[in-house]
Amino acid sequence: RLTSLYDALSKRRTHGQKSLAVLLDPDNVDEVSCQQILELSEQHPVDYFFVGGSLVMNSRQAALIRFIKSRSAVPVLLFPSHSLHLDDQADGILLLSLISGRNPDFLIGQHVIAAPLLRQSSLQILPTGYMLVDTGRQTTASYISGTTPLPYDKPGIAACTAMAGEQLGLRLMYLDGGSGALYPVAPAMIRAVRQAVEVPLIVGGGINTIEKAQAALQAGADVIVIGNQIEKEPAFLADMARTVHQFNQSRILTE
């Protein structure tokens, strides 16, 4: 089923409009910091909240989603690492197939377990080719998934991986340096993937300055995802919202 969330993303992509996603990890965000982030997002628009993490160590995910949904109209997308992380309170799910890896469990196995539950749920499904990129140290995502990330300086491998994912029918691509990456995915890799596929491209991991966000947007990211830096310094959300807004305004003015 095609979904309104996907349609909106795809329309924005067609018009060259970028989006901001804030990743809220239930292990790191409590109600106080979440409230602060929600208040900031009222004045500095955020397009999506992603909720999840490679390892959810507590049972706060459901409470966190309830908290967001009761206070904000921003769509919540699950960013799951496991079939157990489904929650109908969210608006949609990034149904990730870890195409940078060769672990069948994360390519299709978890999905088989989740499929009947997803069919019953009201979640909008966004089939996503998820590509982990080596950004200098082993991330939780690559450890937990038991996969080798894409080499940092091999944009061609990333482009072919994304191309294969698109040919298999995946509707979004997500290039991720992993949470708290030492440095973000290289612009050259973002550019190569951008040129290789038509579908919207999400980029995250290690974006902790305005310059890094601008570089990702200029290279072709349609959605940038910020987690750690907003957890550390919630006011960074305002910087990111402004950066995306300015980018979108400059596109409109030059068209």
Do residues 134 and 140 make contact, with C-beta atoms less than 8 angstroms apart? no
Number of residues that bind ligand 1GP (CB under 6 A): 15
151's tokens: 């080499």
* 179-218 binders of ligand 1GP (CB under 6 A): 179-181, 204-207
- Per-residue binding letters, 118-157, with ligand 1GP (x by CB under 6 A): ----------------------------------------
User: φ and ψ at 165, to 5 degrees?
Assistant: -60, -40
Tokens for 124? 């909008």
User: Distance between CA atoms of 88 and 123, rounded to whole angstroms?
Assistant: 6
Q: How many helices (H) and strands (E) does the chain have?
A: 11, 8
Q: Confirm whether residue 109 is marked as ligand binding.
A: no
Closest CB to ligand 1GP among residues 127, 178: 178
Q: Which is nearer to ligand 1GP, 45 or 180 (CB)?
A: 180
The mark string for 220-249 relative to ligand 1GP (x by CB under 6 A, - otherwise) is: -----xxxxx--------------------
CA-wise closest residue to 228 among 200, 209, 242: 209
Q: At closest approach, how far in Å is the CB of 163 from ligand 1GP? A: 21
Please, what is the Cα angle at 86 between 103 and 117, to 5 degrees?
90
Give the residue numbers of the binding site.
25, 54, 174-180, 205-206, 227-228
